[in-house]
Amino acid sequence: MEKVRVRFAPSPTGPFSIGNARTALYNWLFARHEGGEFFLRIEDTDKERSKKEYEEDILEGLMWLGLAWDNAEVMRQSERGKVYEAALTKLLDEGRAYYCFCTPDELEADRQAQMSQGIPPKYGGKCRHLSKEEAAKKLGTTSAVIRFAMPLREVEFEDMIRGKVRTNTDLIGDIVIAKNIREPLYNFSVVVDDAAMQITHVIRGEDHLSNTPKQITLAEALGLPVPQYAHLPLILGPDKKKLSKRNLEGSLNDYRRQGYLPEAALNFLVLLGWHPAKDREVLTRDEMIAEFTLKRAQKGGAVFNEEKLAWLNLQHLKAVPVEILLERLAPFIPLEWQKHPLFLRKVFEIERGRMKTLGEFTTLADSFFALPEYPASLLLWKETPKEEVIKNLEDAEGLIVAAPEKKITARELEFDLFEMANRTGRGALLWPLRVALSGREASPGPLELIEVLGKEESLRRIRRALALLGENSESGAGSLA
Q: Is 318 a catalytic residue?
A: no
The active-site residue out of 240, 245, 382, 407 is 245
Quick one: CA torsion of 452, 457, 461, 463, rounded to 10 degrees?
Answer: 140
* Alpha-carbon gap, residue 116 to 379, rounded angstroms: 77
Contact 272, 262 (CB under 8 A): no
* Alpha-carbon gap, residue 179 to 181, rounded angstroms: 7
For residue 203, which of 471, 24, 325, 56 has the smallest C-alpha distance? 24
Is residue 228 within a helix (H) or strand (E), and if so which, with residue range? Answer: strand 228-232
Identify any residues that bridge with 39 across adjacent strands, giving them in sequence order: 7
Give the three-state DSSP class for 231.
Answer: strand
Sheet containing 5-8, strands listed edge to edge, beginning at the edge strand earlier in sequence: 5-8, 37-42, 75-76
Q: CA 202, 59, 177: angle at the middle one, nearest 5?
A: 45
CA-CA-CA-CA torsion sign (283, 285, 290, 295)? positive
Buried b (16+ CB within 10 A) or exposed e, 243-278: beeeebebbbbebbeebbbbbbbbbbbbbbbbebee
**Total length of the chain:** 481
Contact 308, 314 (CB under 8 A): no
Residue 340 — left, alpha, or beta (φ > 0 → left; ψ -120 to 50 → alpha)? beta
**C-alpha separations of 259 from 253, 322, 360 in Å:** 10, 15, 8
Q: CA 8, 10, 15: angle at the middle one, nearest 5?
A: 130
Give the three-state DSSP class for 242.
Answer: strand
Catalytic residue list: 245
